[in-house]
C-alpha cells in the first residue's frame, strides 16, 4: 500500500502538473493572440494603403474628367466658330451667280477662285494643326490674312463694340 506521504506526493505532483499546464496553456494562448494581433495589424495597414491608393486614383480620375470636359467645351466652341465660317462662306456663294459672272469677266472669276482655293487650302492646313505664319499672326482683323476661315487665323479677335 501507498502511504499518506505517497498520496500527498502524488497530489503535489498532479497540482504542479496542473499549474505547469495552466501556465503553458496561458503562454500558448497569449502567443496565439499576439500572432493574431500582428496579422490583424498587417491587414489593417494593407487596407489603409489600398484606401489611400484608391483615394489618389479617384482624385486623378476627377482631374482627368475635368480636363476632358474642358477640352470638350473648347472643341464645341471651335466647332461653333467653324459652323459660322461655313455659313459665311455659303452666303458668299449664294450672293452671286458665279456662272454669269464667269461669262462676263472670266479673268476676275479665275483670280477669285484661285485666291479662294489657296485660302481654303490654308484653312485645311490650319485645321490640321499647322502653325500660323507671320502675316496671320499679325492680322489686325479676322479677314485680313484669310477671308475663308478667320476664326482659325485669329481665334481671339473680337470685333470692336
The full DSSP string for 86-148 is: HHHHHHHHHHS-HHHHHHH-HHHHHHHHHHHHHHHHHHHHHHTTPPP-HHHHT-SSTTTS-SS
The range of the structural domain enclosing residue 141 comes to: 97-161
Task: Render pLDDT for 84-98 as a digit per residue (tens, 0 to 9).
Answer: 878 877 777 677 777
pTM, 2 dp: 0.46
Q: Does 161 score more than 50 pLDDT?
A: no
Q: Give the number of domains in the chain.
A: 2
Residue 86 and residue 15 share a domain: yes
Residue 34 and residue 112 share a domain: no
Residue 37 and residue 85 share a domain: yes
Amino acid at each position: 500500500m501507498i502511504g499518506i506521504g505517497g498520496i500527498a506526493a502524488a497530489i503535489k505532483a498532479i497540482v504542479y502538473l496542473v499549474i505547469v499546464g495552466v501556465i503553458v496553456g496561458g503562454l500558448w494562448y497569449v502567443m496565439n493572440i499576439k500572432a493574431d494581433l500582428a496579422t490583424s495589424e498587417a491587414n489593417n495597414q494593407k487596407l489603409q494603403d489600398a484606401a489611400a491608393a484608391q483615394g489618389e486614383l479617384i482624385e486623378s480620375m476627377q482631374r482627368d474628367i475635368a480636363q476632358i470636359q474642358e477640352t470638350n467645351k473648347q472643341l464645341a466652341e471651335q466647332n461653333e466658330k467653324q459652323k459660322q465660317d461655313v455659313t459665311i462662306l455659303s452666303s458668299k456663294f449664294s450672293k452671286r451667280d458665279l456662272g454669269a459672272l464667269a461669262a462676263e469677266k472670266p479673268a476676275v472669276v479665275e483670280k477669285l477662285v484661285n485666291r479662294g482655293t489657296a485660302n481654303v487650302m490654308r484653312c485645311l492646313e490650319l485645321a490640321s494643326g499647322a502653325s500660323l505664319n507671320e502675316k496671320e499672326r499679325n492680322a489686325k482683323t479676322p479677314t485680313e490674312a484669310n477671308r475663308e476661315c478667320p476664326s482659325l487665323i485669329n481665334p481671339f479677335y473680337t470685333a470692336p463694340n
